Structure 1
């Protein structure tokens, strides 16, 4: 099995494990959400959320508390019912919206008629009924009503049973109670006077959103009885009369009690508050609750394919925090979405996936290490730790294998770096992944991840691009020679890189710099051309003159051809020597050297009737020069001007100094130089394109340019506005060279 197949097998194993984890987690989350497995934890979270997002207290609700101060002022409980009658008389004068006496008055008393009269003077007076479960004598429920006289005086009776969850905490209320065999349910005491209840739904507990403890306006029973409370504080409000003193026992734990207990009258005030402001906490549908529970787990499952393992911890914490914040946020909108199943899913998915992924990775590492040892690909050896577990041992062995691969890569890299010529190693997509110093020096240091084909075609010259692209498209032709844009010549060989199956994994491009060889080959061709054509021509002319003469030899023509041949030979030999010997100058007076070179051409110029005019404005300037080579170069230049001047014409040679340099300009009166050949004028064997019929092979101007460059100067050729060619030589003066 190759590496690609092994990684594909591991990926397939991960996919199977992921699907199994997703299926198991989804099934458990669904069962927990529908079956309420996390209800105890959800209730605790609900209590914490309730303390963070309490309900607002309605200002219409007023509690008249039977508190410690009232017990101290009026005596031990229970009090005579005449005290309750006096309280109601006081309240009746203030005209409240309603009065609910949250005190069970079941046994008859001598003061019942007095209390009933006080109740009758209040609009909307309500009394509680208590249901005791289980009842006596085998009954399921016993109903305890107020004394008959008092009950008839009330505007309504309602049950005041407190609904507690399994942990004894009050979180909800039943808006009606229906004993066995009753014709219709009895509404809750706090719903009396409100719109008719939906009886089938009212039997289900409704979750309360509690206000913060002691949020409702509260006054003391004794203070009202003494007339210390102004009527304006009572008028138009819903008054609840109940016990708040610690020793009376009517207290229950609620979510917002923060560890303490809340009086029953305050719980009823919260029920009235929910009824007035529609603050009942709704429950989502089963499908919506299931979606909320499954969503975080599935987000985490999907993230396993994209998020790095080190970031998964943060993701799990973030999702858990998001679930909690979402539950609290929905509670402020009177909707409670239990976060327990969603948190259970996160707590289940993360370790389950970590376990299965670790198992799959361990199996993969074990099989791959065994394959490496079996194939002798790497001599891993026994690197297991005696006190390590299985995975740690496998990791240690894998670390050893990776270390040997690094050594192998370094060995290959060092070998590649030691190659004298540029080499590029590319991957299967053609991107450069490895180079050597020669490649960096030849093509630049930023080669990695660039396309090798684009790189090679970019450095190739215009005349080589097409053939190079064809070779790169089909490198089976062996190798190719091409010229780079900077003039260097290379031989390119492309070899494929194959994996264990023989499939292509990339290629190696090896380039050999043959610039020196190409230059030598070009010089050989030029020498052959010189020997076979240019030097052969004058010799053939001499032989023809000798063969056709009738005893009277044209000595002048033979001498001219011989001198031409000698000049070509001297120029060629001097060009070759200049590449081999060092520059050895001596101080010379420039005007003397130029005058001597012009005088040497006097016979040639006189024969054609050409006059050489020397204008010296150099002020006896000194130059450091090799006398023989510079003299020959000036002779070649002046001879070229004489040769292309018309008979009877003038060649002007002007010497001057400018900016620390000697300037020698030569101007003839010929037809000028073709603009097409001006850029190649000083190349070897280049023609100047003049139409005078004078033959020239261009070796003389090439020699002149080489000598001037050897002396640190420059030469340029151009056409004068009045006709003829102008050559300008610029040479540094002796003092400038010394600097």
Structure 2
């Protein structure tokens, strides 16, 4: 110990300037760390990205006592449109009760009496004969809009009808997503108007959660628990003894009913999320985050140790110290998450360590170059007068200038190309609606009987809307071109269903129907690695274009298949419309990634065209970002089918 102290004091005495630089670097790193912690959005986005990656590989065993009964597409096809009669639910509860489960949870709201009082009485009697039934209350914003559990003053509670409340317990089933719309936390308890509402899964397990808002340790993909179809249980195809001493969760998983949420493992139904929460309650393995204060203190302490090792050790050990430090921090984070169910983010600490190494290495290189320059000035002063050295120096300078000019020329060419494309977009897509407006007004002034004033206003409104849409598309195209790919493993069937839900209103407005066909076997295999947000944008563009260029009352058909091609498997999404189609020249232009011109629809239309920036966005996302493929099957006046091909991320039978 005394030897270490003596060495430290000797270093402090001999390297005063280095010590000053060390202090400045340390203070700067601590300041940067504090600033990053204050920027909560940036910090959280980086931390959660790394957290999602680690969580996907966390070894977790699903709880075998949990059974999920799904209101799936199969049940809807057999039992008819939703909602079903409460007599049907009563029959299901009676069927499940024969197996004597520990508890039953229905993720269905019963806040209003049905039109058939007898069906309400039958369901109430089924609840009465059950040992333990839990129903959710309905949480809704007072003034409409989106439910925000962070502002409970604007939330109103609707309880199950009194006839049911006598035989069940009720709690809340809401989980507030994070800023990126991903559900990672569970709300253990919420208090509204002096009333405390436990989470429905706490009531199912009859256990309270230790923390107010822990993180959910998801068990994996959506097939991590035992699942049965609602209609199979109802018709007795599932033996009732399978429910003995089990927690039975009944909820919606059908894609068209809207109870689909984003999770670190992709899209997941609400009842599947409840199953993960219940499993964590039973195993007491919720994940808790390290407090911001503790995180900051540990980061400052670790940076201090790393900087001290840089100061004490020789330059040859600096890189090894950095690598050892990074490995230790990452392993510590993995250990805390996997073994202690505690989340400690290593991302900022690793970035600060790399920054510290870069700055300190730069200082060491500066000292070395200064020493070499000093020695050269003493040993060979005649080099400054040497003609050959002067010419060599000048040639090097000329070469550097030529290289700089070449780089500037290349950059200028790219800039000119981008500017040309921008001018083309502006001159067509932005200018055309304005020309149409002026033309409409001119025609109306010359001949007021040509069209009514309402038609004139409709034309102006249409072209103004087109201008805004073109501007938004141009901004979006530029953002997509520059965006980094945020790849994750996702199921295309879920993604397509989510896109169909989002564009449903637009199709209804045009009196069109969207028909999505996908075999059950394809659904289980259609997994790809892709940026979900970008791929969803491409799908929405394709479906929107199909709606736009199809006559009213048409059917937009969407398919999902699997194809083998040269020992490689692809997921193929097809979007078909019943529009006017296109010729071969237009098709080839689209497949080469170029825009094409489409005529307008206004009553005052002057024949001007649009460059089709929507297709450029689709091409950039599928081909440019995901290395996928696009194909088109079309003929004039026979409709168009666009095929979007993406390589599968996992399928054991690719060959």
Q: Is the 8 Å Cα contact of residues 254 and 262 (structure 1) preserved in structure 2?
A: yes
- Aligned residue runs from structure 1 range 47-58, under 5 A: 47-58=52-63
- Aligned residue runs from structure 1 range 157-236, under 5 A: 157-179=170-192, 182-194=193-205, 197=208, 204-213=212-221, 214-236=223-245
Structure 1 runs of 4+ with >6 Å offset: 7-10
- Identify which range, 209-218 or 26-35, moves more after superposition: 26-35
Pick closer, same or farther for the CA change 1:91–1:196 going to 2, 3 Å: closer
Counterpart CA distance in 1 for 2:297 and 2:59 is 27
SS of residue matched to 1:173: coil
1:112 Cα deviation from its structure 2 partner: 1.4
1:342 Cα deviation from its structure 2 partner: 1.0
Deviations 1:390-438 (A, max 9, x none): xx9xxxxxxxxxxxxxxxxxxxxxxxxxxxxxxxxxxxxxxxxxxxxxx
Does residue 303 of structure 2 align to residue 297 of structure 1?
yes
Counterpart CA distance in 2 for 1:74 and 1:352 is 68
Counterpart CA distance in 2 for 1:136 and 1:48 is 36
User: Number of paired residues?
Assistant: 372
1:232 Cα deviation from its structure 2 partner: 1.8
Does residue 91 of structure 2 align to residue 83 of structure 1?
no
SS of residue matched to 1:71: helix
SS of residue matched to 1:192: helix
- Aligned residue runs from structure 1 range 488-499, under 5 A: none
**1:148 match:** 162
**2:139 match:** 131
1:103 Cα deviation from its structure 2 partner: 1.1
Unaligned runs of 5+ in 2: 1-10, 146-150, 401-655
**1:264 match:** 270
Q: Is the 8 Å Cα contact of residues 82 and 115 (structure 1) preserved in structure 2?
A: yes
Deviations 1:616-637 (A, max 9, x none): xxxxxxxxxxxxxxxxxxxxxx
Deviations 1:135-181 (A, max 9, x none): 45997112232233223331x100011220000111110111112xx
Counterpart CA distance in 2 for 1:125 and 1:232 is 18
Q: Is the 8 Å Cα contact of residues 136 and 142 (structure 1) preserved in structure 2?
A: no
Q: Is the 8 Å Cα contact of residues 71 and 254 (structure 2) preserved in structure 1?
A: yes
- Aligned residue runs from structure 1 range 261-660, under 5 A: 261-286=267-292, 288-305=294-311, 312-313=318-319, 315-332=321-338, 333-367=340-374, 369-370=376-377, 383=389, 385-386=393-394
Q: Is the 8 Å Cα contact of residues 95 and 236 (structure 1) preserved in structure 2?
A: yes
**1:442 match:** none
Deviations 1:625-657 (A, max 9, x none): xxxxxxxxxxxxxxxxxxxxxxxxxxxxxxxxx
Counterpart CA distance in 2 for 1:133 and 1:371 is 80
1:345 Cα deviation from its structure 2 partner: 1.3
TM-score normalised to structure 2 length: 0.52
1:58 Cα deviation from its structure 2 partner: 1.1
Unaligned runs of 5+ in 1: 1-6, 393-739
**1:92 match:** 97
1:303 Cα deviation from its structure 2 partner: 3.7
**2:596 match:** none
Q: Is the 8 Å Cα contact of residues 54 and 210 (structure 1) preserved in structure 2?
A: no
1:54 Cα deviation from its structure 2 partner: 4.3
Does residue 39 of structure 2 align to residue 68 of structure 1?
no
**Structure with the greater relative contact order (CA < 8 A, sep ≥ 6): 1 or 2?**
2
1:241 Cα deviation from its structure 2 partner: 0.2
Counterpart CA distance in 2 for 1:8 and 1:141 is 62
Report which of the two structures shows the higher radius of gyration computed on alpha carbons.
Answer: 1
1:184 Cα deviation from its structure 2 partner: 3.4
1:323 Cα deviation from its structure 2 partner: 2.4
Q: Is the 8 Å Cα contact of residues 293 and 345 (structure 1) preserved in structure 2?
A: no
Give the counterpart of 2:129 among 121, 124, 131. Answer: 121
Deviations 1:415-468 (A, max 9, x none): xxxxxxxxxxxxxxxxxxxxxxxxxxxxxxxxxxxxxxxxxxxxxxxxxxxxxx
1:314 Cα deviation from its structure 2 partner: 5.3
Counterpart CA distance in 2 for 1:147 and 1:153 is 11
Counterpart CA distance in 1 for 2:246 and 2:395 is 78
1:28 Cα deviation from its structure 2 partner: 2.2
Pick closer, same or farther for the CA change 1:191–1:8 going to 2, 3 Å: closer
Pick closer, same or farther for the CA change 1:299–1:379 going to 2, 3 Å: same
Counterpart CA distance in 1 for 2:271 and 2:171 is 14
1:34 Cα deviation from its structure 2 partner: 6.7
Counterpart CA distance in 2 for 1:64 and 1:81 is 16
**2:25 match:** 21
